[in-house]
Amino acid sequence: MTRGLPGLRGTEHISFSVPDLDQAIAFFCDVLGCEYFYPLGPFRDPAGTWFSDNFRLHPRTEVTRGCVVRCGNGSNLEIFEFKAPGQRREMPRMSDWGGMHLAFYVDDVDAATTYLAAHGIDVLGGKKPGIGPESGDGATFGHFYSPWGMLLELVSFPNGKTYMEGLDRVLWRPHVSGAPVR
C-alpha cells in the first residue's frame, strides 16, 4: 500500500469563522495587506441536512457570507461568517482543542510589530528569538491578536533555522522559494 494521500501537492487554503466578515476583511486587507479575491455565500439548506451530513453541524446552520483572500504568496484564507443554533461565540485559546494560530512570514518582526501597534493591534510580548529547532541567526517571532481575538504570529528567519543544518530538504522559505518579497 502506498503511504500518503494520492496526488497531494500542498495546502490550498485555510478556513476559519469570524464574528464580523466586514471587520475581518478590513483587518486582513487594509491592515495586513492581504488581497481580496471573491465573495462566498450565502449558503443554507432550510429543509435538508446538508450541513449535518457534510460538517456535523446543526442542519439549520447558515453561512451568512464569506470570502477568499490571499496574504502574499502563502495559502489562501477562506473566511466565513456563520449563524447556527447552539453556536459558540468565543475564540478557542491556543491550549483548547481546536486552538490554532496563523503565522505570517515578514522580513522584519520589529517593523511589523511597530506597524501593528500603531494600528491599535494587541501585540503580545514583542519580538523574541527563535527557540530550539526554530532558532538560528536572525530567526525571530512574535504573536498578536486580531480585533476579534484570533491568535496570529509573525515569523522571520532570513538565514534559515537550526533544524535545517545538514538537511537536503527544508520547509517553505519565501526568499528561497522564488516568492517575491514586498
Average pLDDT for residues 42-54, to the nearest whole number?
Answer: 97
- Based on the fold, state whether residues 181 and 94 are members of the same structural domain: yes
Q: What percent of the chain has pLDDT over 70?
A: 96
Burial of 75 (0-12, 13-18, 19+ CB in 10 A): middle
Q: Is residue 94 part of a domain?
A: yes
- Name the residue with cell 518582526: 109
- Based on the fold, state whether residues 98 and 177 are members of the same structural domain: yes
How much is the pLDDT for 182?
A: 40
Q: Chain-centre distance of CA 178, in angstroms? A: 21
Quickly list H helices, the chain: 21-25, 50-55, 109-118
- Based on the fold, state whether residues 68 and 129 are members of the same structural domain: no
Q: Cell triple for residue 20?
A: 464580523
**What is the three-class DSSP state of 20?**
coil
How much is the pLDDT for 181?
A: 41
Burial of 59 (0-12, 13-18, 19+ CB in 10 A): middle
Q: How confident is the model at residue 180 (pLDDT cuts 50, 70, 90)?
A: very low
HSE of 179, CA atoms in CB hemisphere, 13 A: 16
- Based on the fold, state whether residues 23 and 45 are members of the same structural domain: yes
How much is the pLDDT for 38?
A: 98
How much is the pLDDT for 175?
A: 64
Average pLDDT for residues 39-67, to the nearest whole number?
Answer: 97
Nearest partner of 136 among 120, 155, 151, judged by Cα = 155
Longest dimension (CA), the chain: 58
* Residue 77 to residues 18, 21, 46, 128, 158, Cα–Cα distance (Å): 12, 13, 27, 26, 24
How much is the pLDDT for 149?
A: 95
Average pLDDT for residues 136-157, to the nearest whole number?
Answer: 96
- Based on the fold, state whether residues 119 and 68 are members of the same structural domain: no
Q: Is residue 23 part of a domain?
A: yes
Q: Is the pLDDT of residue 87 over 80?
A: yes
How much is the pLDDT for 58?
A: 97
- Based on the fold, state whether residues 68 and 106 are members of the same structural domain: no
Structural domain boundaries enclosing 61: 6-87
- Based on the fold, state whether residues 73 and 151 are members of the same structural domain: no
Q: Which of 67, 87, 107 is the last residue of a domain?
A: 87
- Based on the fold, state whether residues 97 and 49 are members of the same structural domain: no
More confident residue, 10 or 103: 103
- Based on the fold, state whether residues 128 and 140 are members of the same structural domain: yes
Among 24-38, 79-93, 137-151, 166-180, name the one with the lowest average pLDDT. 166-180
Q: Is residue 154 part of a domain?
A: yes
Q: How confident is the model at residue 114 (pLDDT cuts 50, 70, 90)?
A: very high
Q: Is residue 1 part of a domain?
A: no
- Based on the fold, state whether residues 106 and 49 are members of the same structural domain: no
CA distance 68 to 71: 10
Q: Which of 87, 117, 150 is the last residue of a domain?
A: 87
- In tens, the pLDDT along 148-179 reads 999 999 999 998 898 988 888 888 777 665 54
CA quadruple 68, 95, 109, 38: dihedral, nearest 10? 0
- Based on the fold, state whether residues 129 and 167 are members of the same structural domain: yes
Q: Is residue 115 part of a domain?
A: yes
Q: Which of 24, 59, 87 is the last residue of a domain?
A: 87
How much is the pLDDT for 179?
A: 46
